[in-house]
Amino acid sequence: MIEFKNVVKDYGNEVLGADHLTVKINQGEFVYVVGPSGAGKSTFIKLMYHEVGATSGEIRVNNYNVSSITNKEIPFLRRELGIVFQDFKLLPRLTIFENVAYALQVIEKKPEDVEKRVNEILAEVGLTEKAQSFPNEISGGEQQRVAIARAIANRPGILIADEPTGNLDPDTSEEIMRILEKINSDGTTVVMATHNSNMVNEHKHRVLEISAGKIIRDQEGGGYED
């Protein structure tokens, strides 16, 4: 569960990054966050995992009060969230297997459990054959599938994706959408910031439209024109 109450983020610019955001996202929802560049989509998303701190207001993510979280608690909050970015952010010197395993090793899982889970998750995103490849040896769509595998390896309840199809062609974007919807159908909340109106219009889900830091539309099954 994600809940924002009157959340403000003031970067000191003319326009607030978040202007009194109040919204609730229940477990298992699929939510698009849409709006033009500079509207505040990334800010909304970064507030959830405390990449940016709120100026005022209250943010709750599962049992965490994110707006008053301590530095010690931040890594624990982030274990409950998988995060995927437009530019994949894979580690270039590690293989695909190692990129996914790394996320599990840092949370002190036994090596045999790590190996089993990595193989399982790579199969789920269709990348078993690429396990020993390096990121620069696979396509953008495959790299994004690795990033998704890494994000959900630890079975977080929430998957956050900031423009996950931003660098991908339409067919590959479609493939990524199907994977995100599959993850969502298993009960994981998906929050996806996007400009990709084709995806929003073809795969209907709740739409939160942001403009100048404000939610100007909250519509179940809504569309979007970029």
User: Which residues bind to ligand ADP, rule: CB under 6 A?
Assistant: 11, 13, 15, 17, 35, 37-43, 162
Q: From the CB of 32, what's the least distance to ligand ADP, in Å?
A: 13
Distance CA 175, CA 201 (A): 15
Please, which residue, 17 or 156, has the CB nearer to ligand ADP? Answer: 17
Q: How far is the CB of 68 from ligand ADP (least distance, A)?
A: 21
Please compute, for residue 12, the number of CA atoms within 13 A of its CA located in the half-sphere on the CB side. 0
Cβ 206 to ligand ADP shortest distance, Å? 18
Please provide residue 43's backbone torsions phi and psi, each rounded to the nearest 5 degrees.
-60, -45
Closest CB to ligand ADP among residues 112, 225: 225
**158-162: strand order across its sheet:** 81-85, 158-162, 189-193, 30-34, 206-211, 214-219
Are 131 and 162 spatial neighbours (Cβ–Cβ below 8 Å)? no
Toward ligand ADP, which CB reaches closer, 4 or 97?
Answer: 4
Q: How far apart are CA 173 and CA 118, in angstroms?
A: 23
> Whole-number minimum distance, CB 15 to ligand ADP, in Å?
5
Distance in Å, CB of 107 to ligand ADP, minimum: 26
Which one, 133 or 167, has the nearer CB to ligand ADP?
167
**How many C-beta atoms surround the C-beta of residue 88 within 10 A?**
19
**Could you please report the per-residue DSSP string of 162-185?**
ESTTTTS-HHHHHHHHHHHHHHHH
